[in-house]
Amino acid sequence: MLPEKCSIRMNGKSCSFPPSSIVSILSESGEYMIGLVCNDHIMSMKTKTLSMQKSGKISKGKIKFQRLKPVMTDCVLNLKDID
């Protein structure tokens, strides 16, 4: 399960939009997720991530944005119980 809201906080306020992309870092040691962002905050996340990489707070590597793909199954929706 993923969080229902974007990971970005602007001016002390959390974004209330649903995430549209997973943000991860591809480094020599592997790939790791650093957050989820909505369409409105992709550039903000890229800027913040580059800044954190320059300061050494997170590993250097390629910043990757992967679109979320919704998946529906009977077990999640409980469609068998609706009939």
Report yes or no: 33 and 22 within 8 Å, Cβ to Cβ: yes
Indicate whether 3 belongs to any domain: no
Express each pLDDT in 10-27 by its tens digit.
Answer: 889 999 999 999 999 998
Q: Does the residue 51 lie in any domain?
A: yes
Q: Which domain holds residue 71?
A: 9-82
Instruction: Assess whether pLDDT exceeds 60 at residue 76.
Output: no
Q: Above pLDDT 70, what percent of the chain?
A: 84
For 47-59, letters b (16+ CB in 10 Å) and e give ebbeeebeeeebe
Burial class (CB in 10 A: 0-12, 13-18, 19+), 45: buried
Q: Are strands 30-37 and 21-27 parallel, antiparallel or unpaired?
A: antiparallel
In this prediction the pTM is 0.75
The pLDDT, as a whole number, for residue 51 is 96
Tell me if 30 is assigned to some domain.
yes
pLDDT of 4 higher than 70:
yes
pLDDT at 60: 92
Find out whether 63 and 23 touch, Cβ atoms under 8 Å.
yes
- Into how many domains does the chain fold? 1
